A and B are shown apart, each in its own frame.
Chain A
Amino acid sequence: MTTTTSRTDVVLPPLTRVYRSRASVELKEFFRQRESVVFTLLFPVILLGVFGAVLDYDIGAGVSFTQYFMAGIIAAGILGASLQNMAISIATERSDGTLKHLAGTPMPKSAYFIGKVVQVLAVTVLIIVVLLAVGGLAYGVPLPSGSDWVTFAWVAALGAAACTLLGIAVSSLARNGRSASAMVTPIALVLQFISGVFFQFSQVPTWMQTIASLFPLKWMAQGLRSVFLPDVLAAQEPAGSWELDRVALVLGLWCVAGLVLCVLTFRWQDR
């Protein structure tokens, strides 16, 4: 081998500075893009408004469908902020050369993903806050209480983590942002229909329930129903209970699968 004369005295900036910088870049990229703000943030709120006004029937135990829908639309909002957002934005950045440019800088690769995580976190929290506010003020959906907040937090966090990882993995399948959107939007819509977002899950045909239970959205919605609905309604679930242990298990498995897929498929440039 050749002797190398590479320098070892080159200084790198502190990681925290790079992480902060990437976080700020990602927040600006999201909130300055009208399409992403409307599609990801406003759309769930509009749906809540429409469904709350139209489907205000009693689903039992004196609970309105709007309250049921709150769990579903928050789950769908998290899906949009994480899976759909990541798949589309990363596919776009890969096809327009942003990722390749970053790969040529001394930026640590971890900083890119930290920035994305901060973006997902910020958008997710914002969606949840807005949905809770609109649901509470316009439709009288009560806020969760006591230990339900803990369930709320871990279901949302675990679901967002699984869907972020899946979104990063899915971005590698698409040629560009547009094709990522064409791929992931219909899938998300179908999943929303069969996972108990727009209808009560108990009204979905059994074979569709089976398909839905393979994917994270159904488990996020179910976990969140345990937060927003009284426990008597657990009887309406397929298993007759909220199955929170199973929610944690399936979402955890999707995190592992998503991470493996990311590591196997992530590319910094177009093929």
Chain B
Amino acid sequence: MQKDSLLPTGKGPRPPHPAQAQGGTRDGAAAGPWREPDPDAAISIRGLVKRYGTATAVDGLDLDIHRGEIFALLGPNGAGKTTTVEICEGFRRRDGGEVRVLGTDPAEASRRWKAQLGIVLQSGAGDSQLTCRELVRAEASYHADPRDPDEVLELVGLTEKADARGRLLSGGQRRRLDVALGIVGRPTLLFLDEPTTGFDPEARRQFWSLIRSLRDLGTTMLLTTHYLDEAEALADRVGVIAHGRLVEVAVPAALGGRGQAPAVVSWTEDGVRRTADTATPTAFVRELATRFPGEVPDLAVARPTLEDVYLRMIGHEQ
């Protein structure tokens, strides 16, 4: 049971994912020539289309998620995140395109294939009269080599609620239980559809460190979230989806040309707040420093936040 324990062990950090070094790629947005799905990717999607009646929820989506990577899918309500994720999980049928998840078409899901997945649905795992511990144990019984249920409860911070019935949990506690059920089977690929909805700040930090230790074990994760700090803290790459299309895929630091965006330098001079946009903030600040005898008053250098570029991208789309 201890061979890949998630409890703190003092293990060193993992080297960065290769995709991280590459910088911003646009393998999602570019309408390039048709490529076959990549059978070695954890998830490979080509030209995915999903319609509900006459409405098109997913409209020609291409995406590769590498093995071992944490990929965050961002996008406004109704953008098509859950639809895309649930097609990958085998819950919904697609109307067009190709999908491979761990080399298998999810429309032909087998038990062996599902045994490699962990699924945290946006809609949760249902009500129950069973206690948290009983529910995690039952879930563990569907797997040949599950994690220790009590350890999993500890990891999601539910040890104190282990003997409380599932239906009596608070909203955030219930969500933690969903995460516990998703990871107890030692998934190779973990889907997390808005996993931290309702988490308090401490629970969110605890969840982040859980996700990082899962990554250290080599777990691939597809995460959707509305919390941009979460995407920035966890994801190797983020994809922004709007109206069923991927607008951009990039490492968080490079999204929306964030890496190259001018920095904003601000300071106080003669009692007036001043700002300047500059592509060379270091040179600018060095020059600025010569105008003051000591510290530059109220000096700050800022890049656009992930939220700034995200809102700009979404704004353009709508």
Residues of A within 8 A of B (CB): 2-8, 10-13, 17-18, 20-22, 24-25, 28-29, 32-33, 92-93, 96-101, 103-108, 269
CA distance A2 to B283 in the complex (A): 53
When the two chains form the complex, which single residue of A11, A20, A22, A98 contacts B144, counting CB atoms closer than 8 Å?
A: A11
A28 contacts which of B104, B123, B129 (Cβ < 8 Å)?
Answer: B129
**Cβ contact within 8 Å between A98 and B112:** no
Are B126 and A98 touching (Cβ within 8 A)? yes
B142 touching A104, Cβ below 8 Å: no
Q: Which residue of B lies closest to A10 (CB)?
A: B112
CA distance A29 to B134 in the complex (A): 11
A-B CB contacts (within 8 Å), total count: 109
Q: Chain B contacts of A5 at CB under 8 A?
A: 39-40, 102-103
Query: Is B261 positioned at the interface, with any CB of A under 8 Å from its CB?
Result: no
> Across the interface, do B141 and A21 meet the contact criterion of CB distance under 8 Å?
yes
* B91, A269: Cβ atoms closer than 8 Å: yes
Contact of B112 with A106 in the complex, beta carbons under 8 Å: yes
Q: Are B111 and A108 in contact (CB under 8 A)?
A: yes
Residue of B nearest to A9 (CB): B112
Contact of A104 with B103 in the complex, beta carbons under 8 Å = no
What separation, in Å, do the CA atoms of A32 and B114 have in the docked complex? Answer: 30
Q: Which residues of A contact B113 (CB under 8 A)?
A: 6, 10
The one of B98, B126, B145 that contacts A101, using a Cβ cutoff of 8 Å: B126
10 cross-chain pairs, A with B, having the tightest CB-CB distances, nearest first: A98-B126, A21-B141, A32-B129, A5-B103, A11-B144, A106-B115, A101-B125, A104-B119, A6-B103, A107-B142
Q: How far is the CB of B168 from chain A (nearest CB, A)?
A: 11
**Contact present for A2 and B36 (CB under 8 Å):** yes
In chain B between 130 and 148, which residues have their CB closer than 8 angstroms to a CB of chain A? 130, 134, 137-139, 141-145
Give the nearest-CB partner of A33 in chain B.
B129
Q: Is the interface of B mostly helix, strand, loop or mixed?
A: loop
List B contacts of A10 (CB < 8 A). 112-113, 115-116
Bound CA–CA A33/B130 (angstroms): 10
Q: Is the CB of A3 within 8 A of B39?
A: yes
Query: Does A25 contact B100, Cβ atoms closer than 8 Å?
Result: no
Query: Given contacts A5-B40, A11-B144, A18-B142, are A104 and B104 in contact (CB under 8 A)?
Result: no
Interface string of B91-119 (1 = CB under 8 A from A): 10000001010111000000111111101
Residues of A within 8 A of B139 (CB): 105
Contacts of A2 in B (CB 8 A): 36-37, 39, 98, 100
Nearest B-chain residue to A101, judged by Cβ: B125
- B122 shortest CB reach to chain A, Å: 10
Distance of A28 Cα from B125 Cα, bound (Å): 17
Check A106–B143 contact: CB distance below 8 A.
yes
Q: How far is the CA of A4 from the CA of B91 in the complex (A)?
A: 20
Chain A residue at smallest Cβ distance from B146 = A13
CB neighbours (8 Å) of A96 from chain B are: 126-127
B103–A4 CB distance below 8 A: yes
Is the pair A11, B145 in contact by a Cβ cutoff of 8 Å?
Answer: yes
B214 partner residues in chain A, CB cutoff 8 A: none
- Chain B residues with Cβ below 8 Å from A25 are 130, 134, 138
- In the assembled complex, B121 has its CB within 8 A of some CB on chain A: yes
